[in-house]
Amino acid sequence: MATRNIVKVGDDILRKKSRPVEKFDKRLWQLLDDMKETMYLANGVGLAAVQVGVLRRVVVLDCSQDRSDYLELINPEIIDTEGEQREQEGCLSLPGECGITLRPAVVRVKAQDRDGNWCVYKGEGLKARCFCHEIDHLDGILFTDREIKDVSEIQNETGSGQ
């Protein structure tokens, strides 16, 4: 395994749409292994291939405190959502920047594993946000595009508009 450089905001690649993975081979497995190492070293909870300069629909994530829930998602698709949550997000490609976004509270994702087998995953809370955030990266969308900019929106919805 090896770490890869994380692409930062301002690089045009972050706004490009990633292509589906068609070959499940050693090259893909190396990318997955490198992304895992890079994500953990950067203390992130998720990383999309585009963030290491590869325009493929590949995501790794681990939202657990003890780093015991590592997942690899290849060609992921959100197939169902429930509820909503407004929480703070950050991004390894936008160091030092964070903001409040509106995301589903529960998300179901269909994706392939490193061998090409289809699986369905369910995420709630942080994991749901992470699924959405990383899949957005695959479509050239940054969390700042979904950021709630108007503080009165949050205050009005929470009932604390003072």
**What span, in angstroms and rounded, lies between the C-alpha atoms of 158 and 154?**
6
Q: Under 8 Å CB-to-CB from 82, ≥6 apart: which residues?
A: 104, 105, 106
Given this model, what pLDDT does residue 160 score? Answer: 45
Which residues, 6 or more positions from 117, have their beta carbon under 8 angstroms from its beta carbon? none
What is the set of domains in the chain, with CATH numbers?
12-158 (3.90.45.10)
Kindly state the percentage of the chain with pLDDT values over 90: 90
Q: What is the dihedral of CA 85, 142, 149, 96, to 10 degrees?
A: 100
Residue 162's pLDDT band (cuts 50, 70, 90): very low
Q: Please state, in angstroms and rounded to a whole number, the distance separating the CA atoms of residues 93 and 101.
A: 17
The answer to whether 34 and 5 are in contact (CB under 8 A) is no
**Mean pLDDT, residues 68-83:** 97
How do residues 13-70 score in pLDDT, each as one tens digit?
Answer: 999 999 999 999 999 999 999 999 999 999 999 999 999 999 999 999 999 999 999 9
* Residues with catalytic roles: 134
pLDDT at residue 113 greater than cutoff 90? yes
